[in-house]
Structure 1
């Protein structure tokens, strides 16, 4: 059997793709590859245009071939000769079963019906597919095999509830609340000095004269007249010209009540007035080119996420920690960020931490690249891993820390229901809430995700800290249970056997080394 593999992100583009919605598929492909190589020959292509020529070449040699597309169904070609299967990471309770933007590919039911079967990363996704496609539709649930990757960490490191001291280093920058001088007062801008007020007044435009108002009216009347000669199914531009003339030429002459009465009869002028896009003031960002380090100790909580990923619920993850340990100096939260652009979240993060201050606990934010030894030190430094997501397609970092022997704080919804329970985790309560399919340009609420309970998350922090400080034996039991859970769930052999059974192939043994990476899938 030949397997042709494709992902939008590849080895050459991954460094520029961190944070993209589908970048995690790259890590899934890398993790699946050794398993597929134990069942047949693997060919990784850099473009879907390479699939059919390779398929025809192998067909001429009388070799069977299957194309595994590590991209969402709407991005997978539907006109290939080669038999195709999508590998789907999906975190919502239903799959798209409608088309929009005049594109049939957005209807996953049509795409999957053409392919005839699918591979998913979780039971949650498999149920969503079967609800749309029928209970008999062939779906393989196949988590990424990563348990073996952490054998070295498990052999040299025993998880302890209280860290006596570990050094973490990274090429990038480290933001540490112990050295940032945070204060909520800093969020209030100081009053303007007389000189600053004078400069601001000088920038204000002078009051409109009658002549200037006539110039504005003539300008928009001319644009309106030119537009009359154009064929317009809906005269959007014409009402726009009226609105612009009103806001620029005479709105300042009317009181707010007068404006409201007028807007009832002329909705086109109701606004809001179009204004130039706000340009935020430049932020003095930390240097991210140096190798930097810090030391952490006490009860150390770790979370890995992209702040621009709306699923991750990181505001609550941080705020619940700071409230739970407001008076606790030896509790530390380490946040490893998987977003390459520091400016995209820096101000938002600093504002949140300033709003929460003062607090005795410590928050350490690591921005930049961690190589394998540096990541290993992060795994070993942790007492617990924390997830507070609204939904997950798999959550590789959570599984990786569990495979390293770390108990966790996490909800038991979506993909996490396959491996999270009270033996390995302080389970965060959650409830369903309506949301949209993320690729749906119509922004229509068609599916469900989960709303983690903030109070339950805060309680989980408090209970986990108490266990770490007062019941080390119970902590060790949870640590051993986490390792056992990952062995049963994502060791190479069971994953290989599931894949072999699905394709009707004979396994050829476990390779000497299995490689994966870190992602937020």
Structure 2
């Protein structure tokens, strides 16, 4: 297997074909971005979270109509049954296969054969990076805008108007003015420097330069997400948790953020925590890359995995946590429909709502996503907490079932078999086409 650029493919194809070797090019890109018209047999590997496919072009680019692409390649590898059915409906003669990432070999050994026994005692995992911990932050609903006196020098309005506005609004205007001026200066600086603020200069963020052992206790819910993704409903995950366990100190929510920019969500997160306060449960946000060993420790310390997305094309963290024996709180739509049911976790409710294609400008609605039912997430939090604290043997059975489901989906032997059959068909079809030419 070689990793190459698209402009190198046909040259390498002719080179290895002359040596009597069979070659295929697998392009792990969305269909609208992949190369078409190559001599080398080409397979598109992509994930897709919607129940229909783009079937019209825009921006003078024919590849935005995926039917155009599928008519010019030799095969497709999907990562969900929903995507498989959508491609088959569009291009019924195109060779297709649906496979999940082979996570079982890496994470399946974290789950005992009979499933995990509930562990509510203190446990630890290693981490270095940016840390926001509600126990340290102690969010306060009155902490968003403390009243204080501030000078009004430098306001770009006539002086008499400044005095009138100041007398009318008092210190609130002064505080808003100081925030606005400060935000403006920081924005201008960021535009020119293009460098993010270090963690230790952001309010409420603890910067850990070297790994430390973080302690978790009680029932631990873990979500892995990017706040930059508009579909993952990260604020709903936090708000529902704080509401469900506002009087319970034995519940902890860990948010492992995969986003690069802490500043993208920092102010929104602190505002959200302040609005939700007071609450007794603990909310921990981790910002930074995790070593594999640290991640495995986090999986073992977690009781449940949480995914509240409105659409998923490939839910890798869900697969990893369930392989490790963590039942899930998740909807059963899009790619998650292949993974989650009532025997393996707590299914979140939702309803369809119109949505745009992720890559289409102007936001025209051509498809659907699934609006999360926030109350069902609150109820799932509470039900799952009671499940692990009052029905420990049932939790252990659910843990074992979750791990076994991922073994069936993500076992390397099964994936290798399906891929081999798919590649053989693509190569056979390509051989026939070359012979006919």
Please confirm whether the aligned pair reaches a TM-score higher than 0.5, indicating the same fold.
yes
The answer on 1:204 being equivalent to 2:157 is yes
Q: Which residue of 2 aligns with 1:127?
A: 85
What is the alpha-carbon distance in structure 2 between the residues aligned to residue 65 and residue 482 of structure 1? 37
The answer on 1:498 being equivalent to 2:403 is no
User: C-alpha offsets along residues 6-44 of structure 1, whole Å, 9 cap, x if unaligned?
Assistant: xxxxxxxxxxxxxxxxxxxxxxxxxxxxxxxxxxxx112
Give the C-alpha shift of residue 189 in structure 1.
4.4
The answer on 1:279 being equivalent to 2:279 is no
Question: How has the CA–CA distance of structure 1 residues 103 and 205 changed in structure 2, closer, same or farther, with 3 Å as cutoff?
Answer: farther
What is the alpha-carbon distance in structure 2 between the residues aligned to residue 156 and residue 419 of structure 1? 19
Give the C-alpha shift of residue 365 in structure 1.
0.8
The answer on 1:178 being equivalent to 2:135 is yes
Q: Which residue of 2 aligns with 1:109?
A: 67
Once superposed, what is the RMSD of the aligned Cα atoms?
2.3
Q: Which residue of 2 aligns with 1:44?
A: 3
Larger Rg: 1
1:504 alignment partner, SS class: helix
User: C-alpha offsets along residues 372-398 of structure 1, whole Å, 9 cap, x if unaligned?
Assistant: 111111010001111100011120101
Mapping 1:220-235, distance limit 5 Å: none
Give the C-alpha shift of residue 174 in structure 1.
1.6
2:255 alignment partner, SS class: strand
2:253 alignment partner, SS class: strand
What is the alpha-carbon distance in structure 2 between the residues aligned to residue 426 and residue 280 of structure 1? 46
165-174 vs 330-339, greater mean Cα deviation: 165-174
Question: How has the CA–CA distance of structure 1 residues 280 and 292 changed in structure 2, closer, same or farther, with 3 Å as cutoff?
Answer: farther
Mapping 1:89-104, distance limit 5 Å: 89-104=47-62
Q: Is the 8 A contact 1:51 1:67 kept in 2?
A: yes
Q: Which residue of 2 aligns with 1:67?
A: 25
Q: Which residue of 1 aligns with 2:299?
A: 379
User: C-alpha offsets along residues 390-411 of structure 1, whole Å, 9 cap, x if unaligned?
Assistant: 0111201011010001111110
The answer on 1:395 being equivalent to 2:315 is yes
2:122 alignment partner, SS class: strand
Q: Which residue of 2 aligns with 1:317?
A: 237
TM score, norm. by length of structure 1: 0.71
Q: Is the 8 A contact 2:112 2:400 kept in 1?
A: no
The answer on 1:405 being equivalent to 2:325 is yes
1:184 alignment partner, SS class: coil
Give the C-alpha shift of residue 157 in structure 1.
11
Give the C-alpha shift of residue 168 in structure 1.
2.2
Give the C-alpha shift of residue 163 in structure 1.
2.7
1:303 alignment partner, SS class: strand
Structure 2, unaligned stretches of length 5 or more?
A: 162-180, 188-196, 426-437
What is the alpha-carbon distance in structure 2 between the residues aligned to residue 364 and residue 317 of structure 1? 12
Q: Is the 8 A contact 1:174 1:292 kept in 2?
A: no
Q: Is the 8 A contact 1:172 1:292 kept in 2?
A: no
Q: Is the 8 A contact 2:253 2:282 kept in 1?
A: yes
1:204 alignment partner, SS class: coil
What is the alpha-carbon distance in structure 2 between the residues aligned to residue 280 and residue 96 of structure 1? 42
User: C-alpha offsets along residues 272-317 of structure 1, whole Å, 9 cap, x if unaligned?
Assistant: xxxx9x7375883243644344211100110101111111111111
1:44 alignment partner, SS class: coil
What is the alpha-carbon distance in structure 1 between the residues aligned to residue 252 and residue 333 of structure 2? 26
Which of 374, 379, 385 lines up with 1:454 in the alignment?
A: 374
What is the alpha-carbon distance in structure 1 between the residues aligned to residue 113 and residue 81 of structure 2? 33
User: C-alpha offsets along residues 333-387 of structure 1, whole Å, 9 cap, x if unaligned?
Assistant: 0111111221111111111111111101000111112111111110100011111
Question: How has the CA–CA distance of structure 1 residues 364 and 198 changed in structure 2, closer, same or farther, with 3 Å as cutoff?
Answer: closer
Q: Is the 8 A contact 2:70 2:94 kept in 1?
A: no
2:308 alignment partner, SS class: coil
Q: Is the 8 A contact 1:120 1:140 kept in 2?
A: yes
What is the alpha-carbon distance in structure 2 between the residues aligned to residue 290 and residue 280 of structure 1? 32
Q: Is the 8 A contact 2:113 2:400 kept in 1?
A: no
Q: Is the 8 A contact 1:163 1:382 kept in 2?
A: no
Give the C-alpha shift of residue 160 in structure 1.
3.1
Give the C-alpha shift of residue 137 in structure 1.
3.6
TM score, norm. by length of structure 2: 0.85
2:325 alignment partner, SS class: coil
What is the alpha-carbon distance in structure 1 between the residues aligned to residue 10 and residue 394 of structure 2? 55
* Misfit runs of 4+, over 6 Å: none
Give the C-alpha shift of residue 153 in structure 1.
2.2
Give the C-alpha shift of residue 129 in structure 1.
1.6
Which of 339, 342, 351 lines up with 2:259 in the alignment?
A: 339
Q: Which residue of 2 aligns with 1:423?
A: 343
What is the alpha-carbon distance in structure 1 between the residues aligned to residue 184 and residue 208 of structure 2? 24
Structure 1, unaligned stretches of length 5 or more?
A: 1-41, 209-275, 506-521
Which of 333, 355, 360 lines up with 1:435 in the alignment?
A: 355
What is the alpha-carbon distance in structure 2 between the residues aligned to residue 288 and residue 343 of structure 1? 17
User: C-alpha offsets along residues 65-94 of structure 1, whole Å, 9 cap, x if unaligned?
Assistant: 110000111111113221111001110111
Q: Which residue of 2 aligns with 1:223?
A: none
Q: Is the 8 A contact 2:41 2:73 kept in 1?
A: yes
What is the alpha-carbon distance in structure 2 between the residues aligned to residue 161 and residue 384 of structure 1? 11
Which of 58, 82, 86 lines up with 2:16 in the alignment?
A: 58
1:304 alignment partner, SS class: strand
The answer on 1:329 being equivalent to 2:288 is no
